Structure 1
């Protein structure tokens, strides 16, 4: 059961990683003129020939950080799932609460000297 859950978690994540980068790049290519003229940080510096690549780099970095966060969450869930059993039973039987007959019933012997159990004097 845990292996199926792991597989169902990992397959969309693996596909999502490659698809998210492709979606960002495709969106950049389709809107390249708009991004270069309106959203580019270096649009005033024509000699840099940025043409919106700064915007693309920023978006790719955001996607990469999001992927890292998802990877950490996935790893955390996988560790929790692997160390947590599906059903966790704690059974305290009657043996733990039963009383046992021992030969140590009765009083403490009075053969001990009271001097031994006093704190030392300075």
Structure 2
């Protein structure tokens, strides 16, 4: 069981890193064969002052690899839209999203002072649900 989980995890990691592995393999292959590639495929052979040394070929191959990845990605048919209104549980009326935070700040004042004395205090503070166990 542990061996199967190990193999599956290795396959999963390779699947996640496939694009990076492919780009890395192109770079390793390029630097191992840079002299030959510069002689055969370099566009700037006649301009040695540019010091291209076949890097134009590597850039073309990496761009081609990236375009293949983009072509293979599924394109969503319909763009996702967010709801325009947020429902308030107290009034069951739609509240525009822009006014949600501003109106809640105006309605609930935590406390205020008048003549150096505490007049009103709101003890209702939101607490996330606790796990009872």
TM bin, normalised by shorter chain, reads 0.3 to 0.5
Larger radius of gyration: 1
Tell me the TM-score normalised to structure 1 length: 0.48
- Using structure 2 for the length normalisation, give the TM-score: 0.44
Bigger share in helix: 1
